[in-house]
Structure 1
Amino acid sequence: VGHAEGPQVNDPDAPEHAADVDSHFSWWRTIWLAQLSRAQEGNASARLWAEPEFGPPPYLQTLPYTRAPVTDLWDVNKRVAARIRTEFAVALEEASAPPAPAEEVAADSQPQKVWVPQLGGGYVLKDAPASGGGGSSGSGSRLSTKAVSGIGGSLLDLAIKDGAKEEKERIAAAEKHEALMKAAAEVSVVIGKSESDCAVAEFEMADGDVVMLNAAMTAINAGAAGAKSKILFSAGNDQLALVGYVPASKTGLNVAEWTTRVLQAVGGTVMSSQPAEAESPYGGKVVQAASAAQDKVTPAQAMVIGMKAASAFLGAS
């Protein structure tokens, strides 16, 4: 039914956090109701549940609000998880609420449904027990799309629109990745045909993105160009990205020293990874790095400086 992120509090039942917690779960119940409405129109035998991810996040070193050391975070997680399951049960009860008076006539003509908890976990939609008077008006429960109209229905519409937006973004990302791989293949051919054992090249397609530039490096190394040491540069609006690679056979060149010399020449605020095993049929090490845009030096200008430094290092080696 969806990921239920817990509220960022040290105790979900503490009075001082009641407003934040209630607001948080009101938001989630709205989402759950919209999803339950959609589920009714799909597979009637589907089992639905909300099971929170469990375990302390590695970045959290102190508890929210109190700033106390995280010594009882597992216990906090247990309490938050229990509250999430309780709130989900409340959402199921709301989803199974009797229809409004205006809907009763239409509701009587349909089997009424309720969400029933299962022994193994989760809920399934089943027929409600018949009322004592033989009628179903008022005493039964069913989930209808009208029951979650208003804010729930609006959120469902929004979710559908968001889904369409995400699909467009996914297609755009796939097209960009395809273009990235095509450009990498072209660069791989050029470097592979070069008589030099090393290459210093610009890869504009990555647009200053270190992850994309590293993906391009992996693609380039899949061909004959993988046998050659190289540094790729890509200047974006906010930073200069660079990825250095040295195959296992080139023992006389240290990729960490090479990229460090380049970063020293570029200056500014830089970040660099430790040398890691490269995804290349030629083995070797790869280093990813970035330099943030400076006040008087743009990423494009920094790239020119870096490429000169990379070539100079090779000449001095």
Structure 2
Amino acid sequence: MTAPTIKIARTLWGVDGFNEPGKWDELFGRIKAEGFDAIECTTLTWRCDPKLLRELLDKHELGLICQIHTTGGDIDATTGEYQYLTSSKLHAHLASFVKLLTEAAALKPLFVNSHSGHDSWSTETAVAFFKYALTMEASLGVPVVHETHRQRLLWNPYSTAEILKTEALKGKLKVNCDLSHWCCVCEHVFDATSARDDWWPATLALVAEHCHFVHCRVGHAEGPQVNAPEAPEHAKDVDAHFGWWRTIWQAQAARAGAPPVVWAEPEFGPPPYMQTLPFTNEPVSDLWKINSRLMVPKKKWVHTLGGQQGGGYVQVDVEDEEAATKASGLAVSAALRELAVQDVEAVAAAKAAAEVQAQARAAVQREGNLKGAEMAAAARQTGVTFFCTPLVSAEGELPLLNTALQAMNAPADAAGGGGGAVALGKMLFSAAEGEQLAIVTYVPSGQNVIDVSEWTASVLEAIGGKVMLGPPKMVSNGTEEGRGTRVEAAVAADPDAGKSPTKDLDVGLAAAVAFLKQKGALPSDLE
């Protein structure tokens, strides 16, 4: 099966400016800049200015998902509060559905997400409503998904399964799965490995057959939303939800054909969904960041005053995923785009690989801190400002050598240590036998003795063989004094020519020192 492409929508629920047309241009620009593909909004947004809404969504190349609430959608003239569910009568919900769907269809949405009907209805009444809803959907030519939401027809897994099995709806009704509601209703996070939940795999498979949209919110046994999905105390609940979502997306992909495209939406909500602190009513987490962190977009953006795209959001040039997520304020967490289509074994393998990588980075940082401190001490004693050194822990990998360079250049009082050697020139070597010799060269700004590219090229010439030499790049440890220029290079292993990375390392070290002596950057009698 081809892995599905997951398109991500951003909910406007609880977002500042959702009902202020003057803020939409900047808001939609920000949403697009963070990598989202569409927005989802209710009548509270589109009734403000339907024409402007459509124009700005087109400008920012965002799709629209309209959310409707049968017997809701209006503001109570007396209380000023939003009306969500005002009747339990079938005829009232049918009339409301027609009115709201017609209104939403005029906006040309990708599809409509409906909170449909009333949870008190029998299966027969629910089926009657859905049959009429399917007729209206076909008449207006706009797809409709019906959400698994509390107070509504699909409010629990048991009656939902009965409804979806009826001949009139089987394979026809489209569902939006927000399974966090079911955890709350049943006061339980379903576990297919438990004897009490032996019914769950079949129900999940049935729902997946009908699902066309997923609201990605992690619920728990006592509520529809955990306070922070990265928190370790919620790991079991997060893993359960991601497992369900993957099952659903794989089912969608199987019936969608190639190339399959499926839609999802991080939908953590504001208070009272979001927990608050007592007496202050302050939310315990940042709603915007949670709904961004769940997806970790491929493009990395940061907010800067005067930015040209998205009302202050501009793309940044970062060199690795960890730095990118830090730069954009996003956490490295369960990413929908990355984990959605992987099976359990692949996810476990990815986690294990990530742990190995984290251990390797930690080892390189420790070695970099130590080597940097030794360089700084030697410079104070001898006045030497250029050094050449091998690093064992980098294992011939350029990214790890760059991590070591960052550790060497970090201030000595930095968190986790730091070599304090930012003012010193360096050529770092790391050999991986059978693979390559990696080289990273750094020359601080403000000196006019050594050219970073010339130094590196002279070493590569001495080594010979199959070499790679990258262009010089400016780097910084965050201060003007810490700026410098870095060059990356590598020499491939070539056993047929009698060359090995270990032997090339010895040649490279000798050539690097010889170049420094020739340029007067090292005393000629220095051993």
TM-score (norm 2): 0.36
Please name the residue that 2:402 is paired with: 214
1:166 equivalent in alignment to 2:350: yes
Q: Contact (CA 8 Å) 2:361, 2:403: kept in 1 or not? A: no
Residue 121 of structure 1 aligns to which amino acid in structure 2? L
Cα deviations by residue, 1:184-217 (Å, 9 ceiling, x for unpaired) = 1011111111122211100111111112112211
1:121 equivalent in alignment to 2:318: no
SS at match of 2:422: helix
Deviation at 1:52, TM superposition (A): 7.7
Q: Contact (CA 8 Å) 2:3, 2:341: kept in 1 or not? A: no
Q: Contact (CA 8 Å) 1:131, 1:139: kept in 2 or not? A: no
Please name the residue that 1:27 is paired with: 2
1:228 equivalent in alignment to 2:427: no
Cα deviations by residue, 1:262-282 (Å, 9 ceiling, x for unpaired) = 000111111111222122443
Please name the residue that 2:484 is paired with: 284
1:199 equivalent in alignment to 2:395: no
Quick check: 116-125 or 257-266, which moved more?
A: 116-125
Whose RCO is larger (CA < 8 A, sep 6+)?
1
Cα deviations by residue, 1:271-298 (Å, 9 ceiling, x for unpaired) = 1112221224432211111110122111
Residue 489 of structure 2 aligns to which amino acid in structure 1? A
Task: Report the count of equivalent residues.
Answer: 217
The 1:288–1:28 alpha-carbon spacing in structure 2 relative to 1, beyond 3 Å, is: closer
CA distance in 1, matches of 2:402, 2:357: 16
Residue 217 of structure 1 aligns to which amino acid in structure 2? L
Instruction: Indicate which of 496, 499, 508 corresponds to 1:306.
Output: 508
Q: Contact (CA 8 Å) 1:243, 1:288: kept in 2 or not? A: yes
Please give the residue correspondences for 1:246-285 in structure 2 after superposition, counting only pairs within 5 Å: 246-280=443-477, 281-285=481-485
TM-score (norm 1): 0.58
Please give the residue correspondences for 1:54-69 in structure 2 after superposition, counting only pairs within 5 Å: none
CA distance in 2, matches of 1:292, 1:52: 42
Which structure's residues are more often helix, by fraction?
1
Residue 241 of structure 1 aligns to which amino acid in structure 2? A
Q: Which runs of 5+ in 2 are unaligned?
A: 7-12, 14-35, 39-62, 64-100, 118-125, 133-161, 176-202, 210-246, 255-339, 412-419, 520-527
Residue 138 of structure 1 aligns to which amino acid in structure 2? E
The 1:122–1:271 alpha-carbon spacing in structure 2 relative to 1, beyond 3 Å, is: farther
Please name the residue that 2:441 is paired with: 244
CA distance in 1, matches of 2:174, 2:483: 62
Please name the residue that 2:372 is paired with: 188
1:178 equivalent in alignment to 2:362: yes
Please name the residue that 1:98 is paired with: none
Instruction: Indicate which of 183, 200, 204 corresponds to 1:145.
Output: 204
SS at match of 2:449: coil
Residue 303 of structure 1 aligns to which amino acid in structure 2? L
CA distance in 2, matches of 1:304, 1:175: 27
The 1:28–1:178 alpha-carbon spacing in structure 2 relative to 1, beyond 3 Å, is: closer
SS at match of 1:225: coil
CA distance in 1, matches of 2:110, 2:174: 21
Q: Contact (CA 8 Å) 1:229, 1:250: kept in 2 or not? A: no
Deviation at 1:218, TM superposition (A): 2.0
* Pairwise CA RMSD: 3.9
Residue 269 of structure 1 aligns to which amino acid in structure 2? K
The 1:152–1:200 alpha-carbon spacing in structure 2 relative to 1, beyond 3 Å, is: same
Sequence identity, in percent?
Answer: 24
Cα deviations by residue, 1:213-235 (Å, 9 ceiling, x for unpaired) = 12211221224321111100000
